Amino acid sequence: MKYLYETHLHTSQSSACGETPGHEYISRYKALGYTGIIITDHFYRGNTVADRSLPWEKWVDRFCRGFEDAREAGARQGLDVFFGWEETFEGDDYLVYGLDRQWLLKHPEAASWTRAEQYQWVSHFGGCVVQAHPFRQHYYIDCIHLSPEWVHAVEAANAGNNEQSYDALAKRYAEKLGLPVTAGSDIHRLADVKEGTAFGVYLDKKMETIADYVEAVKTGTIAGLRISEGRCDYRGNERVKLPVRIRDKRGRPIRQDLESFLA
Ligand SMILES: [Zn+2]
Ligand SMILES: [Zn+2]
């Protein structure tokens, strides 16, 4: 038996672009056969609802509202709900799993981490970092930033990407680096939670806490991806129209063109 999980989901309470409150997602995900969902609202530098002028504790409370709402409804209806977040740098986004509200309350510095610090500290405290949709080329992105040393895994399939080639490139990139891959819906509204656009990961073991997901990511033991047919198939003619910046572990740009990297 395999257990299905959503890994990338936004609520209207905590993501400014989210259209559906946490509790409304529960019955639909249950109906599609999911065992659980991980709420990943936009974090401090992302499209968050929580007002940044609030004192940190209040900000954290506000940020967790969508998750709390989903978790309460999940507990009533029988769907496991876990906590994570999605942080943004220069159009490049990272899903962070394994740290919770209590941890956040004690660590306001999380709001100003660099990419390298994010990786170091999340690792230190037992979590993991997954780069979300690394090859997305939507209007709001002017450069693709890749930091292969600062992630534990790559989100190969993201249902919010409007071109299949972005996912094919992400999967290829992860394979070249030997990094584990994940899949998620990047859901912002209930209407998109349906066959074909609801992605996720399969695990062999039921998650008890978010630490179980972190372990599956870090050990490369995710049992499979739920994605649409051919979503990550790499053909070799995928195009990257944006400039690409690849950094090494010290943050220095690597002078290598992407095509030769992926070839
Ligand atoms: Zn969003
Ligand atoms: Zn997202």
- Tens of pLDDT, residue by residue over 128-168, are 999 999 999 988 889 999 999 999 999 999 999 999 999 99
pLDDT, averaged across the chain: 96
How many Å lie between the centroid of ligand 2 and the Cα of residue 246? 22
How many Å lie between the centroid of ligand 2 and the Cα of residue 205? 25
How many Å lie between the centroid of ligand 2 and the Cα of residue 94? 9
Q: Which residues of 107-137 are buried (b: 16+ CB within 10 A; e: fewer)?
A: eeebeebebeebbebbbeeebbbbbbbbbbb
What topology is assigned to 3-262 in CATH? TIM Barrel (3.20.20)
Confidence (pTM): 0.97
- In percent, the amount of the chain with pLDDT more than 70 equals 100
How many Å lie between the centroid of ligand 1 and the Cα of residue 128? 20
Domains of the chain by residue range = 3-262
Residues 6+ apart with CB under 8 A from 236: none
Ligand lying closest to the C-alpha of residue 18 = 1
Ligand lying closest to the C-alpha of residue 93 = 2
How many Å lie between the centroid of ligand 2 and the Cα of residue 227? 16
